[in-house]
Each structure stands twice: as C-alpha cells, then as structure tokens.
Amino acid sequence: MSTTTVTGLQQELQNKIDNKTKPVGSLGRLEEIAARVGVIQQSLQPHISNPHIIVFAGDHGIAATGLVNPYPQAVTAQMVLNFINGGAAINVFCSQHNIQLCVVDAGVIADFDPTHYTGIENVATGKIIHAKMGYGTRNYLQEKAMTNEEVNNSIEKGKEIVSAIHAAGCNCIGFGEMGIGNSSAAALIMSAITKLPIERCVGKGTGTNKKQFITKIETLESVYDMHIKTMAQPLSAIDILASFGGFEIAMMTGAYLEAAKRKMIIVVDGFISTAALLVAQAIDRSILENCFFAHTSDEQGHEGMLYYLQAKPLLNLSMRLGEGTGAALAIPLIQSAVNFLNEMASFESAAVSNKD
C-alpha cells in the first residue's frame, strides 16, 4: 500500500464498502469506522489484533481531606487488588470480549505484596505492572500535585508501557483508570484546557451527594484560582498536569501519545480518560486521528469534553464507572466494522443484483 496516497486509499476503501451486499450507507457509523481503521492501518484489509485495556491506578493528595470524594482513599488500592483478582466490572467485560487487561500501579499510596507485582517486560501476566512514580500526589490545596520531573517521568513511563504492549502484537488499545479523587483532577484539567468554568467541569464523581457536590465545586474553584495565578501563559500541558495531577493521568497522556505514534487504534473511555486525552492532544493534536470515542459518560463534564473535541461517541448507556468499562464495550463495535469489511460478500461474489 505504500505507493497509495491516503486519498486514493480512502476511495478504494469506500468502493469496497459500497460493493458489499447491502444498500449503500446502511451500516451507518460502522462504515465510517471501517474506513477510518483502514486509513489508520493503510490497508484495505485492516485487522484488530490482541486488543488491550490498561488501567492506570494512582492516588491523589486531595483525597485524604475527604473534601471531594465520598469513598476513602484506601479504595484505590482495594480496587487494584479487585482488578487482579478478577472481580471488577472491567474484568467481566474484558473477559467477555477477549480483551487483555493490564493493571498499572502508577502511584498508589500503598505498596502491594511483592508477589503481585511484575515489570513492564511482562505485561500480560495478570499481575500489577510496577510503575509507581510516587506514593500518591501532593495535596493541591497547598502545593502543586507533582513536580515537572514527575510529570515527564510519568509520561515517559506511559509510553514505555504502550511500547511493550504494542511489541506483544496489540494494535487496539483503551485506557481506564482508578484513583479516588481523580474526577477532581480531571475537572481541573478540563477547565484549564477548555476554558470552561469549574462548575461546568465538575460532576458528582463516584457517589457524591448534593452537599458533598457543592463542597467539591467550591474546593476546586479555589484550587483552580490559586494555581492558575502561578502558571505561565499560555498554559502548558506539563504545567497543568503538575498543578492538578495525577500520576495515572500523566501516564495515560504518554500512553495516548505512544499509541498514536505506533498507529494503534485508540478507544477513548470516559471522563478521566478523556481528560488525559485533552492533555495529550494539546501536546500533539494529530493523535485524534487514531481515536474512537467509546461512550458518553454520565459524569457531567464529559459532554463538554466531547464537544470541545468534536467527538461523537459510539455508545450512550449512562455509565460513569471508569476503569475503561466504556472502551471494553465499544471495542466489539469496532471489531464488527472491521469484520464486515473483511468478511461480507460483494454483490458480484454473491451474485446479488445491485439497484439500477
């Protein structure tokens, strides 16, 4: 395909799609997906191989205060163990769809038993990938959540992890996260990048009641005001991540950049994952060419993020769980698009009459 221009390839893909035994356009968005995957892979026979979801876990200094999160900080580590024991929603959906799940300790406040850990070189062991950049971020009520060095190291680590997974034959990837308090980091990042006011960016997160929600908004407004004064204009992606965190979001930012560089299909999950994408596309806008948006999250700010990115997600099931669960449910739709392109008969091959 190397001598085919993208425009020529796009036309060839469209012809192939239009000659399948179905009315033109009748597979709707699956047709768009098939064509886009073909362009990403520069192929008339694109394929999905060894799809993965990486869940990046990290703790947030703010969470110890209880001002923004109804669940205790300890839940981050507890859920990481739930992931490796197979008990979380993301385990169920990955298992259903033969998606490999990788869990990364990007900066959980607790240490896990050493037997639970593995290195980046063994991404598919079902253990926790040891990529700990710190024991939770600092509390951004008092100081920056991370140093610029921590941000850069986290981004690099995210790139390394995706490189290792790509080397294992994966060409389709989604990112999820676990981190008590990280919907607040995501809201702050969203506000900094989209310029929408904090109250438009803050959602209830996981299980916040009305009073907690008001406290969350007020807390994050004061945090935003405090930090924004100290940051150079125009805001840099690194500064935004350093101010608000977290390790898992920074690592995910690197993961997006590397996945696009390696021409992987990227399936974007919900609010926190899309916050990391906001940062990544601020660094390199072209990565969006590789992104498919899995779903519209029920977390309030997500629609604003999608609007900013002009993204049209595949699913809208009122989910707001994170972990990559939306991505896991959308990957089969992308697979369906690739499959119809490769497996359906053409009018000619099936001896079906086309319209006049």
Residue ranges that bind its own copies, judged by CB under 8 A = 20-30, 70-72, 74-75, 78-79, 81-82, 85, 87-89, 91-93, 95-97, 206-207, 298, 314-321, 325, 329, 332-333, 335-336, 339-340, 343-345, 349-356
Structure tokens given for 118 = 């593995």
Q: Would you call 33 helix, strand, or coil by DSSP?
A: helix
Identify whether the C-beta of residue 46 lies closer than 8 Å to the C-beta of residue 34. Answer: yes
Which residues on neighbouring strands pair with residue 175, listed in sequence order? 54
- By beta-carbon proximity to its own copies, the closer residue of 256 and 292 is 292
- By beta-carbon proximity to its own copies, the closer residue of 194 and 206 is 206
- For 71, phi and psi rounded to 5 degrees? -90, 145
Q: Would you call 210 helix, strand, or coil by DSSP?
A: helix
Q: Rounded to an integer, what distance in angstroms lies between the CA atom of residue 226 and that of residue 221?
A: 9
Minimum Å gap between C-beta 290 and its own copies is 20
Contacts with 94 (C-beta within 8 Å, 6 or more apart), sequence order: 53, 100, 101, 328
Q: Would you call 169 helix, strand, or coil by DSSP?
A: coil
- By beta-carbon proximity to its own copies, the closer residue of 162 and 338 is 338
Minimum Å gap between C-beta 142 and its own copies is 25
Choose among 99, 91, 101, 121: nearest CA to 49.
99
Q: Would you call 286 helix, strand, or coil by DSSP?
A: helix
- By beta-carbon proximity to its own copies, the closer residue of 309 and 321 is 321
221 as an active site residue: the answer is no
Choose among 54, 56, 57: nearest CA to 101.
54
Choose among 259, 275, 105: nearest CA to 183.
275
- By beta-carbon proximity to its own copies, the closer residue of 28 and 234 is 28
- By beta-carbon proximity to its own copies, the closer residue of 157 and 320 is 320
Minimum Å gap between C-beta 61 and its own copies is 19
Q: Rounded to an integer, what distance in angstroms lies between the CA atom of residue 102 and that of residue 95?
A: 12
Give the position of tokens 């009520």.
141
Q: Taking the CB of residue 106, how many other CB atoms lie within 10 A of it?
A: 31
At CA 153, angle to CA 148 and CA 154, rounded to 5? 100
- By beta-carbon proximity to its own copies, the closer residue of 220 and 337 is 337
Identified catalytic residue from 299, 323, 343, 348:
323
Q: Taking the CB of residue 226, how many other CB atoms lie within 10 A of it?
A: 14
Three-class secondary structure assignment of 111-173:
CCCHHHEECHHHCCCCCEEECCCCCCCCCCCCCCCCCHHHHHHHHHHHHHHHHHHHHCCCCEE
Catalytic residues: 323
